[in-house]
Amino acid sequence: MMKIFFKPVLMFSIILLLFISGCKEKQEKVELTISAAASLKDSMDAIQAQFEKEHPNISLTFNYGGSGMLQKQIEQGAPVDVFLSAAEQNYQALEEENMLIPEMGGPFTKNALVVIAPTNKKYASFNDLIEKGDKIAIGIPETVPAGAYAKETLQKIGKWEEIQDKLVLAKDVRQVLTLVEQQNVSGGIVYQSDAASSVKLNIIEKIDPSLHSEIQYYGGVVANRSNSKEASLFIDFLHNSAIQKIFVENGFIPITSK
């Protein structure tokens, strides 16, 4: 009689344990570490909330900075799952080093370059700022894509050498924005999306896109990481029409636009 009773109890216990184990697996949290260009922060704050709402088992942690600096961190072994770059060259460099998974990334949004100044400064144009301004801030061209685009522009209009004594180089585009907002410089060159996030400055001029390389943002999944499936899910999420709308609301340009 006891043997007959014992078998159903044992079977029930095994089934219960398997069920509990399965529930634990479903509820297991995955944390993605994302290294993103500083200019993406405002958009990513909104995108993070939406992504985590739709994928409650995945949490996102962001590390912001200049794309060149973030590239170097990944090359040096930083524990990063996703790389969001403000320039194709940084993305391509990691791809060529086999540090990004092929066919799991690409461009996801675009931007434009603008010249800004504090609200109490009145400059008629970019040339007016160059001639009358005291200090002009740009990102470090070697590590900050916005700085590289700014340098390209200044070289194209023949002002790069002339402006050397006035340049203040910043670690990322957000630092340029802060320098202008705090009136530590006469003006600066930032992305259109950064200028849209501030009420403490004026846009003097939108830079002709023919004066610099196309500004496209690239996202990729870092190779040899355990969370590549979830990382790929996040990259795909950036192309969602509702997410593209968030980028537009923050001053970016849809990837489909010419």
On the question of pLDDT at 88 being above 70, the answer is: yes
Pull the structure tokens for residue 187.
């003006």
Q: What is the mean pLDDT of residues 110-117?
A: 98
Decide: 111 and 43 in contact? Cβ < 8 Å.
Answer: no
pLDDT computed for residue 17 by the predictor: 53
Q: Which residues, in sequence order, are CB contacts of 5 under 8 Å at separation 6+?
A: none
Confidence band for 256, pLDDT divided at 50, 70 and 90: confident
Q: Is 173 annotated as a binding residue?
A: yes
pLDDT computed for residue 26 by the predictor: 57
pLDDT computed for residue 24 by the predictor: 47
pLDDT computed for residue 22 by the predictor: 52
> 3-state class of 182 per DSSP?
coil
Which is more confidently placed, 109 or 24?
109
Q: What is the pTM of this model?
A: 0.84
Q: What is the mean pLDDT of residues 67-79?
A: 97
On the question of pLDDT at 179 being above 80, the answer is: yes
Q: Give the distance from CA 137 to its chain's centroid.
A: 20
Tens digits of residue pLDDT in 8-63: 545 555 555 555 455 445 558 999 999 999 999 999 999 999 999 999 999 999 99
Domain ranges for the chain: 29-110+215-249, 113-211
pLDDT computed for residue 28 by the predictor: 84
CATH class of the domain whose range is 113-211: alpha beta
Please give the DSSP secondary-structure letter assigned to residue 102.
T
Q: Is 39 annotated as a binding residue?
A: yes
On the question of pLDDT at 71 being above 70, the answer is: yes
Mean pLDDT for all residues in the chain: 91
On the question of pLDDT at 110 being above 80, the answer is: yes
Distance CA 48, CA 234 (A): 10
Q: Is 67 annotated as a binding residue?
A: yes
Max Cα–Cα distance, the chain, nearest Å: 101
Tens digits of residue pLDDT in 115-155: 999 999 999 999 999 999 999 999 999 999 999 999 999 99
Taking the alpha carbons of 171, 114, 116, 39 in that order, is the dihedral positive or negative? negative
Q: What is the mean pLDDT of residues 207-219?
A: 97
CATH class of the domain whose range is 29-110+215-249: alpha beta
Decide: 72 and 66 in contact? Cβ < 8 Å.
Answer: no
Tell me if domain 29-110+215-249 and domain 113-211 are identical in fold: yes
Residue ranges of alpha helices (H) inside 55-137 are: 67-75, 88-96, 126-132
Q: Is 197 annotated as a binding residue?
A: no
pLDDT computed for residue 21 by the predictor: 52
Decide: 80 and 34 in contact? Cβ < 8 Å.
Answer: yes
